[in-house]
Structure formats: C-alpha cells, structure tokens
C-alpha cells in the first residue's frame, strides 16, 4: 500500500481495484522495491491500474524492468491490449510511450471529478487523464 500510494493518493480507490487484480512486484534481494497492479477488462484487455517504485530506488531501472516484465507476461497470456490512464504531462507519459503505448482518448477533468483534493505534480494541477493502450501485434480488431 505504501508503494501504491505513490502512484495514486486515494487509498479507498486503490482498495477498490485491488481485489480482482493481479499484483506484480520487483525486489532487490528480499526487499520489495516496486509494485504493479493489473486488472482484467473484458475478454482480452487488461488495465495497468498502478505502478510504483520506492523513491530511494527510483531512476535505477526497476520501473522499466517491472513494466517490461508485465508487458511480456500479458503478451504470453494472449492478451490483445494493455491499457493505462495517466496525467497529460510529466515523465510518466514518456515512460509508457517508450514501451509502445499510444494515446487513445482524453478523460477530461478525471482528476477533479474522482479525487476530493486537487492533485499537483511539479507545481501544475492535474485535470485530465490521458488513456493509453499498448496493442499487441497478431490480433485482429
Ligand atoms: C514511474 C515509476 C514507476 C518509474 O520507475 P523507475 O524505477 O523510477 O523507472 P526507471 O528507473 O526504469 O526509469 C524510467 C524513466 O523514468 C525517469 N524517471 C523516473 N523517476 C523520475 C522522476 N522522479 N523524475 C523524472 N524522471 C524520472 C527515468 O529517468 C527514466 O528515464 P530515462 O530512461 O530517460 O532516464 C517511478 O518513478 C514511480 O514510482 N513514480 C511515482 C509513482 C507514479 O507516478 N507512477 C505512475 C503512475 S501513472
């Protein structure tokens, strides 16, 4: 939970999607340093609900290794599409796009409508959520 709160400030929201999700962790020796939660969405789509690495271990490659592992896991599982929602700016957007995620839509005012307090990153208020998807090759829409 401590890790997941880094990616989503609402514990209630995290708890609401934890059951029914699969949780992946990255560890350094016996210490869990990163976590990623993925939820099924229909027949052949899954959504990455959260990914976080402990601040003391960020920028060391754990997040990239964890994301790659999750992408490969669902490719091998035969999933058609891995989705994620994120803010409209910041390094997280590049983090996903680097791995092949493409923007599919904008959920306007998502962060205002779904959280009781305004959320700021780098001093900028988050309003809209970008929806991204990684489409695995080999599937016919
Ligand atoms: C997003 C996150 C999981 C990435 O994990 P990580 O272990 O730091 O990732 P990596 O070390 O593999 O680095 C991936 C890229 O992100 C960049 N990055 C990571 N943390 C950063 C930060 N705080 N500020 C700016 N860039 C950052 C890295 O520099 C790297 O980019 P580069 O390849 O151009 O150098 C992690 O930073 C995190 O937990 N952030 C807070 C929670 C969050 O925002 N989760 C995503 C919700 S949408």
pLDDT digits (tens, 9 = 90+) for 1-32: 999 999 998 899 999 999 899 999 999 999 99
> What would the two tokens of residue 71 be?
């992408």
Instruction: Say yes or no: CB of residue 96 within 6 Å of ligand 1.
Output: no
Strand partners, 48: 38, 84
Low pLDDT (below 70) residues in the chain: 140-141
Task: Compute the distance between CA of residue 72 and CA of residue 128 in angstroms, rounded to an integer.
Answer: 29
pLDDT reported for residue 141: 62
Q: Into how many domains does the chain fold?
A: 1
Instruction: Say yes or no: CB of residue 111 within 6 Å of ligand 1.
Output: no
- Is residue 50 situated within a structural domain? yes
CATH of the domain at 111: 3.40.630.30
Domain extent for 98: 4-135
- Is residue 97 situated within a structural domain? yes
**Atom number of ligand 1 nearest to Cα 55:** 39
- Is residue 140 situated within a structural domain? no
pLDDT reported for residue 5: 95
Task: Compute the distance between CA of residue 114 and CA of residue 58 in angstroms, rounded to an integer.
Answer: 27
Name the nearest CA neighbour of 7 among 31, 35, 26, 33.
Answer: 35
């Amino acid at each position: 939970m401590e890790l997941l709160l880094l990616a989503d400030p609402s514990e209630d929201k995290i708890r609401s999607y934890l059951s029914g999700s699969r949780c992946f962790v990255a560890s350094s020796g016996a210490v869990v340093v990163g976590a990623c939660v993925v939820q099924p969405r229909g027949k052949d789509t899954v959504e990455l609900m959260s990914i976080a690495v402990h601040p003391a271990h960020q920028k060391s490659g754990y997040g990239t290794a964890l994301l790659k592992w999750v992408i490969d896991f669902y490719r091998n599982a035969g999933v058609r599409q891995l989705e994620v929602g994120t803010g409209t700016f910041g390094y997280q957007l590049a983090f996903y796009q680097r791995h092949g995620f493409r923007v599919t839509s904008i959920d306007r005012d998502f962060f205002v409508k779904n959280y009781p307090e305004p959320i700021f990153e780098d001093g900028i208020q988050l309003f809209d959520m970008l929806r991204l998807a990684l489409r695995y090759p080999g599937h016919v829409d």
